[in-house]
Amino acid sequence: MSEISDKKVFVTREHIIPDAIAHLKQFFDVAVWEERSAPPREVMLQKAQENDAIITEITDLVDKELLDKAPRLKIVANRAVGMDNIDIDEATKHGVLVSNTPGVLHESCADFTFGLMLSVARNITYGDRQIHAGEWKMFDQIPYLGTDVHGTTLGIVGMGLIGTAVARRARAFDMKVLYFSRTRRPEVEDQLGVEWKPDLDSVLSESDFVSLHVPLTAETEHIIGARELDLMQPHAFLINTTRGPTIDAGALYLALKAGTIKGAALDVTDPEPIPIDDPLLTLPNIVISPHIASASSSTIKKMGMLTAQNVIGALSGTQMPSCLNPEASKGA
């Protein structure tokens, strides 16, 4: 592509991917939502009518109503791996291509998973909160006694790119790794020495740490509820960097309060942002971060550029790096 075409692209956040936006402006008529918050629904519906491409964040809903109002739309490019905000089947029926950003954020997310694990197990965040609250008044380590991570058993639920990257890091901590996944991964078992379990219950009951790495689907919504938490050991910790609704938040609160499990660390909540009066925030044995597992400066830039490449591919009729429904192509 050597000149700017008449195709129009709408980006739902200006401040997140400036490099990608600048790149796209070399080829297309690009409009951006300048607020840091998500565009209101009426703006999304209007922009869907007016544009050939929309770059979305995970809080931007793309459903049948929007697609019905989008006769010229050719691609929805999601700046994420998870796709629960987009009705891909409906997009395919409307001839709209859908893309995501795999293969660029798994290492950052794996780093963050271990950050959460260490923080909740070793009371790093709790200690920090106590200091800021003026409660550290003498040298006394006993109120902050934590749990070692090294040499324990890690259960991974979902052995995709992120789960595999987490398992690789676990080797450095001399951890035994169990996993349950929709698809068994013999090559990962051979390479990393992880052990496959044919059912989720076994992973939950045998692990000291359980880390979730599954997409949010109808099958995985509340994959961890009261029953599953009861299966976990009382000294165990639950880690979640996937999507908030994979855990029943009410059941988690009760389990943490009763000591059914020892602690939890969440990068995702249901809803997001978590309300300040949510009972989970009253508990000392939980760490919550604001959905930032992939938010390293390097990874955010890579995700933005991959999203831009998907848009360029769709609108120019060339190959898209990560199209999820190529059968939907309307042509360029």
Catalytic residue numbers?
243, 272, 291
d(CA 294, CA 105): 6
Contact 200, 180 (CB under 8 A): yes
DSSP letter for 218, please: T
| 322 residue type, one letter | S
User: What is the Rg, in whole angstroms, of the alpha carbon atoms belonging to the chain?
Assistant: 22
In 3D, which of 85, 51, 55, 43 has the Cα closest to residue 71?
51
The SS3 assignment for 62 reads strand
Strands (E), the chain: 8-11, 29-32, 53-56, 75-78, 97-99, 153-157, 176-180, 195-196, 209-212, 237-240, 263-266, 286-288
d(CA 329, CA 314): 8
Place of tokens 């006394």: 140
In 3D, which of 88, 118, 327 has the Cα closest to residue 216?
88
138-153 burial code (b ≥16 CB/10 A, e <16): eeeeeeeebbebeebb
Beta bridge partners of 78: 56
